[in-house]
């Protein structure tokens, strides 16, 4: 329970900071300077690399940060995750409906409905317990739900959607 | 009803119990259901599948490493693309193993020793390989053969991990299935129990419904019966609510009160049937009940009240009200009975009783008056006969005198008999309780009668069967009266025979000795048919029988009354021609021999022939009566002092110690009772002297009053020489209380010549010449004064008293001189004055009577 409260508190704090940035669709997506960690393709209007939107870690970190603490079935003990809320990402890219087909480095792929991307919902975590996640630690990106704060997130479907070592998202109409 | 209550009580307890059971069952089912759902979710959701997928993925990801490393080995120079691919694949595998080692999902797996061992080996492989992987491209390229070797070494361990994982999760799956099965069985069981409880509840409610249906039917029947009872009741039944508004009005009520039920219902009881003069009380009662709950009529049984009919008639009712608590508040049920007929009948009965009582009272009054009226002239006769006997008489005159004496005594006896009857019937005969030696008493009685018996040629005998009874507590005078009557009768009806008294104690109970005295004669006997009749009043055995001493026919009646008063009974047996047996049976309480001073005085006393000379004070306002008393006393050698009223009597008694005081009752200034009280309570010389009251009021209760005032004895007026002598003899011994009675004269005539002669004899010619003119002057003055008093329209109280007093006084004088009609007129005037009746007629009547009397008496005086 303690973690739940803490998670909510942090979420509010971050939401407060993030609001001005998240309020509108990005007009212009800069070209990533560092190594690309995420490629978003499919039905998107905002792109920076042909018909895809690519992000390096710095670009993601520049976007609103959401932090919460939760336990997961794949880790031992409570973990603090920080990252970009999926809802903020969808908003930034003007994605309002459809499905996000998330694919991992090892080509594991899951479909996440855009409707799942809600405030207080899943984040695109790039930091665990304050450290940037390597591939060995399920990095560079891991879709993490706040499992402890919402019992609905303790389902097999959500578990299967909690894809780690994520590097691609295709937006399907 | 009791069974019903029990059932209800059970129901009241059972429903919460069953409800509790239901709740618990529902809770258990809920918990089990949730458990089942969660189990099903576990089963359905591919938690373990997911894990197994992860495990197989481990193997897949491991196997993907092999070809890459092989390709690197075949490359002559480091190929960055291949190397990068290797690094990514290695990291993915590393991440996989790391997840399995840390994730909570894989706890069960890690608990398996084979899996744990395989994991540890794989971690070693990873840890050993990391420096190579993280090295430069050249180093990694050079280390490829070594990696191949390590990879081949680790390969079976990956396999072991995945296989042991499969086993672990298969077992876990089986366990979960069993668990779900067990939960399902539990669920089924609890559901069955729940169904059972529901079935029981259903049965219970069916039962309850049947019971309540039965109760409803019972109630309906009872209420219908009740309606019938109420409607057919003879009493009016009115039901009202707490406000007094009528809710039920039965048919009897309709008949009694004259309202239709439909009109009466809804009206207020108070306004409908309570009479106007009771409405305030009714309203107050209702208010009191509402405010304090106090009920004065409700629940207090039957009360008698008045009610009002529709036509306004007020009639008596008997009312009973009960209250009952109902769902709609307190109600009152009133039962009213029209008792106007009964009340009328009761009133008639009371009136009849009052008339009867008045008749009885009149009879008693008549008897008392009669005794007075007869005794007064009889006194004259007997007193003068006594005086006459003292004079010189020739033999013929002496014989006449004896006959007259006998006749007058007989007359006195009859009068006394009648008085006795009236006293006994009124329950006014005082029965004394004094110590008496019973055997001596009987002996004395027999002795006094022996002479009479022998005169008729009879032998009189006394015998005891068993030991004689000595001291008892009883009334010797009454017992003597009874035995004398029986012996007297026996003597009367037996000639030359034998009369025997047999006494016997039949049995004793405690101190009570049931005593029987039998008087047996050998006389003419009584026919069987007459045996009962002879005890009746005014019955004589044989009217044609020559009565030697006469009889009123009251003797046996009196005897039987006395015996009854003593608590005994009496009867007779007889064989005509052979004789009779009269028996008396009464209880006597045995007692100790008393002190000598309570010597027994028999009812029969010998005349006191020689009495020592006494100093006697005569207190009497009537000069003629005073003169008679003086003459009688002086002729017996006593010294006489006279006082004309109570006050003078008290004064004289204080200054001189008299041996005896004769005290009249009715006197001016101070009456006899007041004077007696004054003498007794004062310190005068005669304070302890015997005081004998002279009275014409001979009813026993009066005598008792006199004795209570301190008088020693009572002497009936008019005076009789024998009675006077007896009193003089008796007053020597302090206790004696029997009224000595004497006769008086007839009424109606203007001048009773006998009585006048008696006065002449008593007073002597000189006395007459002195007193008669005084009486005539007195009478003249009285009549004038009386007529004068009529001049005033209303006669005042004081005047009435004066009239009564003077009439009384003159009546005494008139009686002495034989002015019978005048006396009668004066006595009724006295009564009327005292009773505050109209006096005009009485006074008017006196005038002519006075004229006639005056003429007659003056003729006597002039002659």
DSSP per-residue string spanning B395-413: HHHHHHHHHHHHHHHHHHH
Residue A8 lies in a domain: yes
Q: What is the pLDDT of residues A79-118, one digit of tens each?
A: 999 999 999 999 888 888 899 999 998 888 999 999 999 9
In this complex, the residue of B50, B91, B102 whose CB is nearest that of residue A136 is B91
Whether the predicted pLDDT of B761 surpasses 80:
no
Q: How far is CA B648 from CA A43, B39, B676, B785, in A?
A: 161, 137, 12, 26
Q: Provide the pLDDT for residue B381.
A: 78
Q: Is the ipTM of this complex over 0.90?
A: no
Question: pLDDT at residue B267 above 60?
Answer: yes
Partner-chain residue, chosen from B91, B102, B105, that has the shortest CB–CB distance to A135: B91
Cα→Cα distances A108→A41, A101, B63, B103, B331, Å: 17, 10, 16, 19, 89
| Confidence label for B206 from pLDDT (cuts 50, 70 and 90) | very high
Quick one: pLDDT at residue A51? 86
d(CA B88, CA A104): 11
State how far the Cα of B94 lies from the Cα of B65, in Å rounded to an integer: 11
Q: Do B94 and A136 touch (CB under 8 A)?
A: yes
Q: Is residue B744's pLDDT more than 50?
A: no
Q: Under an 8 Å CB criterion, which residues of A touch B?
A: 71-76, 105-106, 108, 134-138, 155-156, 159-160, 164-165
User: B745: burial class by Cβ within 10 Å (0-12, 13-18, 19+)?
Assistant: buried
Q: Which two tokens stand for residue B245?
A: 């508004």
pLDDT at position A19 is 41
List helix spans (H) across B618-699.
Answer: 623-635, 646-655, 672-681
- How does pLDDT run across B401-419, given as a tens digit for each residue? 888 887 887 787 777 777 7
- Around Cβ A43, how many Cβ atoms within 10 Å? 14
Cα(B66)–Cα(B58) distance, integer angstroms: 13
- Establish whether the linkage from the previous residue to B718 is cis, with ω within 30° of 0: yes
CB atoms within 10 A of CB B562: 24
* A26 assigned to some structural domain: no
Q: What is the full DSSP assignment across A18-57?
A: HHHHHTS--S-PPPPSS-EEEEEEES-S--SBTTBEEEEH
Question: Is the Cβ pair B92, A137 closer than 8 Å?
Answer: no
What was the pLDDT predicted at B737?
35
Contact B103 A105 (CB under 8 A): no
Query: pLDDT, tens digit, for every residue of A115-146?
Result: 999 999 999 999 999 999 999 989 899 999 99
* pLDDT over threshold 50, residue A23: no
Residues in chain B within 8 Å Cβ distance of A129: none
- In the three-class reduction of DSSP (H, G, I as helix; E, B as strand; rest coil), residue B338 is classed as strand
Domain total for chain A? 1
Nearest-CA distance from A94 to chain B in Å? 32
- CATH classification at residue A151: 3.90.420.10
Across B9-13, B23-27, B199-203, least confident range: B9-13
Distances (CA, A) of B565 to B41, B432, B557, B602: 116, 11, 12, 19
Alpha-carbon B117 to chain mean position:
111
> Given the structure tokens 């970009």, which residue do they identify?
A84
- CB-based contact B664:B634 (threshold 8 Å): no
Instruction: Tell me whether residues B105 and A76 touch, CB distance under 8 A.
Output: no
Smallest Cβ–Cβ distance between A159 and the set B50, B57, B61 belongs to B50
- Residue B13's pLDDT is 67
B141 in helix, strand or coil?
Answer: helix
Sign of the CA dihedral running A43, A47, A51, A54: negative
What is d(CA A59, CA B224) in angstroms, rounded to the nearest whole number?
97
Cα three-residue angle B659-B665-B671, rounded to 5 degrees: 95
Q: What average pLDDT does range A35-49 have in this prediction?
A: 89
Calculate mean pLDDT across residues B694-722.
71
Q: Test A105 with B104 for CB contact under 8 angstroms.
A: no
The alpha carbon of residue A73 is apart from the nearest alpha carbon of chain B, in Å, by 5
Tokens of B554: 């009251």
Mean pLDDT confidence for B54-80: 86
Q: What is the pLDDT of residue B553?
A: 67
Q: How far apart are CA B711 and CA B663, in angstroms?
A: 9
Please write the tens of the pLDDT for every residue from B293-304.
Answer: 777 777 777 888
d(CA B456, CA B499): 11
Question: Cβ contacts (< 8 Å) between B92 and chain A: which residues?
Answer: 105-106, 135, 165
CA–chain centroid gap for B505, Å, is 41
Query: According to the model, what pLDDT value does residue A20 have?
Result: 41
Instruction: Please say if the pLDDT value at position B764 is more than 80.
Output: no
| DSSP summary character for residue A147 | G
DSSP symbols for B277-325: HHHHHHHHHHHHHHHH---SSTTS--EEEEEE-TTS-EEEEEEEEEEEE
Q: Which pLDDT value is given to residue B234?
A: 83
Closest Cβ opposite residue B95 in set A76, A137, A155: A137
Partner residue facing A135 (CB), from B57, B92, B102: B92
The answer as to whether A82 is a domain residue is yes
C-alpha to C-alpha distances, B422 to B360, B415, B703, nearest whole angstrom? 10, 11, 16
Residue range B243-271: average pLDDT? 88
The predicted structure's pLDDT at residue B3: 44
Instruction: Please say if the pLDDT value at position A11 is more than 50.
Output: no
B281 and A CB contact within 8 Å: no
Structural domain including A89 reads 2-20+37-172
The winner for highest mean pLDDT among B57-71, B429-443, B604-618, B735-749 is: B57-71
Tell me: pLDDT of B740 over 50.
no
Task: Answer for the pair A119, A64: CB distance below 8 angstroms, yes or no.
Answer: no
A30 within domain boundaries: no
| B280-312 burial: b if 16+ Cβ within 10 Å, else e | eebeebbeebeeeeeeebbeeeeeebebbeeee
Note the pLDDT tens digit of each residue in B565-589.
Answer: 888 999 999 888 888 999 999 999 9
Confidence of residue B657 (pLDDT cuts 50, 70, 90): confident
Question: Chain B window 33-92: which residues touch A at a Cβ cutoff of 8 Å?
Answer: 45-47, 50, 57, 61, 64, 88-89, 91-92
Residue B723 to residue A75: CA distance in whole angstroms: 150
Tokens coding B372: 């007075």
Half-sphere exposure of B668 (CA within 13 A, CB side): 13
Q: How many residues does chain A have?
A: 173
Mean pLDDT of A62-78: 91
pLDDT band at B793 (very low <50, low <70, confident <90, very high): low
Name the region of B550 (left: φ>0; alpha: ψ -120 to 50; beta: rest).
left
Encoded tokens for B112: 């398996």
pLDDT at B507 over 50: yes
Average pLDDT over chain B reads 80
In this predicted structure, the answer to whether residue A65 has a pLDDT above a threshold of 90 is yes
Q: Which own/partner contact pairs does B294-301 have at CB distance under 8 Å and 24+ positions apart?
A: B295/B323, B297/B321, B298/B322, B298/B323, B298/B332, B299/B323
User: Is the pLDDT assigned to residue A39 strictly greater than 90?
Assistant: yes
Share of chain B above pLDDT 70, in %: 87
Find residues 102-141 of chain B whose CB sits inside 8 Å of chain A. 102-105
What does the pLDDT average to over B352-365?
81
Task: Answer whether B95 sits within 8 Å of A72, measured CB to CB.
Answer: no
Q: Tell me if B104 and A76 make a contact (CB, 8 A cut-off).
A: yes
Q: What is the pLDDT confidence band of residue B748, given thresholds at 50, 70 and 90?
A: low
- Which chain B residues touch A75 with a CB distance below 8 Å? 102-104
Whether A25 is in a domain gets the answer no
**In angstroms, what separates the C-alpha of B147 from chain A's closest C-alpha?**
18
Residue A28 located in a structural domain: no
For residue B99, what is the nearest residue in chain A, using CA coordinates? Answer: A74
Judged against a pLDDT cut of 70, whether residue B766 lies above it is answered with yes
For residue B746, the 8-state DSSP code is: -
What is residue B698's predicted lDDT score, i.e. its pLDDT? 57
Minimal C-alpha gap between B58 and chain A (Å): 12
Helix axes B476-492, B438-455, angle to 10 degrees: 30
% of chain B with per-residue pLDDT over 90: 11
Contact B517, B438 (CB under 8 A): no
Nearest-angstrom CA–CA distance, B572 and B526: 9
- What would the pLDDT profile of B331-351 be if each residue is shown by its tens digit? 888 888 888 888 889 899 999
Question: What is the pLDDT confidence band of residue B552, given thresholds at 50, 70 and 90?
Answer: low
Q: What is the pLDDT of residue B600?
A: 33
Q: Please name the member of B45, B46, B99 whose beta carbon is closest to the beta carbon of A74.
A: B99
Contact A106 B47 (CB under 8 A): no
CA nearest to B523, candidates B556, B548, B490, B555: B490
Helix extents (H) in chain A:
2-22, 57-62, 86-92, 156-161
CA distance A56 to A29: 12
Rounded Cα distance between B824 and B837, Å, is 17
pLDDT band at A70 (very low <50, low <70, confident <90, very high): very high
Nearest CB to B88 within list A73, A105, A155: A105
Does B638 or B502 have the greater pLDDT score? B502
pLDDT given for residue B736 in this prediction: 33
Query: Sorting pLDDT into bands at 50, 70 and 90, what band is B604?
Result: very low
- Whose CA is closest to B635, among B770, B484, B763, B496? B763
Output the CA torsion sign for B122, B125, B130, B133: negative
**Cβ contacts of A73 on chain B, cutoff 8 Å:** 103-105
């Amino acid at each position: 329970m303690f973690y739940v409260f803490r998670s909510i508190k942090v979420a509010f704090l971050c939401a407060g900071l993030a609001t001005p940035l998240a309020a509108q669709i990005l007009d212009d997506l800069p070209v990533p300077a560092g190594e690309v960690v995420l490629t978003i393709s499919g039905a998107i209007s905002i792109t920076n690399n042909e018909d895809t939107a690519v992000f390096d870690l710095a670009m993601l970190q520049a976007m609103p940060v959401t932090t919460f603490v939760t336990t997961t079935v794949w880790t031992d003990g409570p973990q603090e995750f920080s990252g970009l809320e999926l809802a903020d990402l969808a908003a930034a890219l003007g994605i309002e409906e459809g499905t996000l087909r998330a694919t991992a480095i090892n080509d594991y792929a899951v479909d996440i409905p855009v409707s799942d991307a809600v405030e207080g919902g899943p984040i695109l975590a790039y930091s665990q317990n304050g450290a940037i996640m390597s591939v060995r630690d399920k990095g560079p990106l891991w879709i993490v739900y706040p499992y402890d704060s919402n019992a609905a997130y303790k389902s097999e479907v959500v578990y299967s959607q909690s894809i780690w070592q994520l590097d691609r998202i295709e937006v399907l109409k | 009803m009791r069974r019903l209550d029990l059932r209800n009580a059970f129901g009241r307890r059972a429903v919460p119990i069953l409800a509790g059971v239901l709740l618990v069952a529902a809770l258990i089912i809920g918990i089990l259901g949730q458990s089942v759902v969660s189990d099903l979710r576990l089963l359905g959701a591919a938690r373990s599948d997911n894990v197994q997928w992860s495990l197989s993925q481990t193997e897949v990801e491991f196997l993907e490493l092999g070809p890459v490393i092989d390709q690197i080995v075949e490359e002559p120079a480091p190929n960055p693309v291949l190397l990068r691919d290797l690094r990514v694949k290695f990291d993915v595998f590393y991440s996989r193993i790391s997840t399995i080692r840390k994730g909570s999902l894989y706890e069960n797996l890690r608990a398996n020793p084979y899996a744990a061992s395989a994991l540890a080996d794989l971690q070693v492989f990873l840890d050993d390989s990391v420096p190579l992987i993280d090295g430069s491209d050249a180093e990694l390229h050079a280390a490829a053969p070594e990696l191949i070797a390590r990879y081949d070494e680790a390969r079976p361990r990956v396999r072991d991990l995945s296989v042991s994982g499969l086993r672990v999760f298969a077992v876990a799956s089986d366990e979960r299935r069993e668990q779900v099965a067990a939960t399902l069985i539990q669920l089924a069981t609890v559901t069955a129990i729940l169904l059972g409880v529901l079935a029981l509840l259903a049965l219970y409610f069916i039962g309850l419904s049947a019971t309540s249906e039965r109760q409803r039917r019972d109630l309906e029947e009872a209420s219908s019966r009740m309606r019938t009872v109420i409607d057919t009741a003879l009493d009016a039944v009115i039901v009202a609510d707490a406000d007094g508004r009528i809710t039920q009005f039965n048919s009897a009520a309709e008949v009694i009160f004259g309202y239709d039920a439909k009109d009466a219902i809804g009206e207020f009881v108070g306004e409908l049937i309570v009479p106007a003069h009771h409405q305030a009380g009714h309203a107050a009662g209702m208010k009191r009940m509402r405010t304090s709950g106090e009920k004065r009529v409700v629940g207090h049984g039957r009360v008698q009240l008045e009610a009002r009919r529709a036509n306004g008639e007020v009639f008596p009712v008997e009312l009973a009200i009960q209250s009952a608590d109902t769902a709609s508040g307190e109600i009152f049920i009133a039962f009213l009975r029209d008792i106007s007929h009964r009340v009328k009948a009761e009133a008639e009965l009371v009136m009849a009783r009052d008339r009867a009582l008045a008749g009885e009272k009149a009879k008693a009054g008549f008897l008392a008056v009669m005794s007075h009226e007869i005794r007064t002239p009889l006194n004259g006769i007997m007193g003068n006969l006594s005086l006459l006997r003292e004079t010189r008489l020739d033999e013929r005159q002496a014989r006449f005198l004896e006959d007259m004496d006998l006749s007058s005594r007989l007359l006195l006896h009859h009068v006394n008999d009648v008085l006795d009857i009236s006293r006994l019937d009124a329950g006014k005969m005082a029965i004394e309780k004094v110590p008496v030696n019973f055997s001596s008493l009987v002996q004395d009685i027999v002795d006094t009668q022996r002479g009479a018996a022998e005169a008729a040629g009879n032998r009189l005998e006394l015998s005891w069967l068993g030991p004689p009874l000595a001291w008892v507590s009883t009334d010797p005078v009454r017992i003597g009266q009874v035995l004398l009557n029986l012996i007297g009768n026996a003597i009367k009806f037996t000639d030359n025979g034998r009369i025997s008294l047999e006494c016997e104690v039949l049995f004793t109970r405690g101190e009570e000795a049931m005593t029987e005295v039998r008087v047996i004669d050998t006389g003419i006997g009584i026919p069987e048919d007459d045996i009962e009749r002879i005890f009746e009043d005014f019955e004589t055995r044989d009217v044609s029988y020559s009565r030697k001493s006469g009889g009123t026919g009251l003797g046996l009646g009196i005897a039987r009354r006395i015996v009854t008063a003593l608590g005994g009974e009496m009867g007779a047996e007889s064989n005509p021609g052979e004789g009779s047996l009269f028996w008396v049976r009464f209880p006597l309480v045995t007692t100790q021999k008393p002190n000598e001073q309570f010597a027994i005085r028999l009812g029969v006393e010998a005349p006191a022939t020689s009495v020592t000379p006494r100093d006697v004070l005569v207190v009497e306002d009537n000069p003629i009566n005073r003169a008679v008393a003086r003459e009688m006393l002086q002729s017996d050698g006593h010294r006489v002092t006279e006082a004309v009223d109570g006050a003078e009597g008290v004064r004289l008694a204080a200054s001189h110690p008299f041996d005896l005081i004769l005290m009249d009752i009715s006197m001016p200034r101070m009456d006899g009772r007041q004077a007696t009280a004054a003498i007794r309570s004062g310190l005068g010389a005669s304070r302890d002297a015997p005081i004998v009251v002279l009275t014409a009021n001979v009813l026993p209760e009066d005598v008792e009053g006199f004795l209570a005032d301190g008088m020693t004895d009572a002497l009936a007026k008019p005076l009789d020489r024998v009675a006077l002598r007896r009193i003089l003899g008796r007053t020597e011994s302090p206790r004696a209380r029997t009224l000595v009675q004497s006769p008086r004269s007839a009424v109606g005539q203007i001048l009773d010549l006998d009585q006048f002669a008696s006065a002449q004899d008593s007073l002597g010619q000189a006395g007459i010449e002195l007193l008669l003119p005084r009486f005539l002057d007195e009478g003249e003055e009285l009549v004038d004064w009386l007529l004068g008093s009529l001049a005033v329209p209303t006669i005042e109280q004081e005047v009435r008293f004066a009239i009564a007093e003077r009439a009384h006084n003159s009546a005494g004088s008139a009686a002495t001189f034989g002015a019978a009609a005048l006396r009668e007129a004066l006595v009724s005037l006295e009564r009327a004055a005292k009773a505050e009746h109209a006096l005009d007629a009485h006074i008017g009547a006196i005038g002519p009577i006075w004229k006639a009397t005056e003429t007659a008496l003056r003729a006597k005086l002039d002659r």
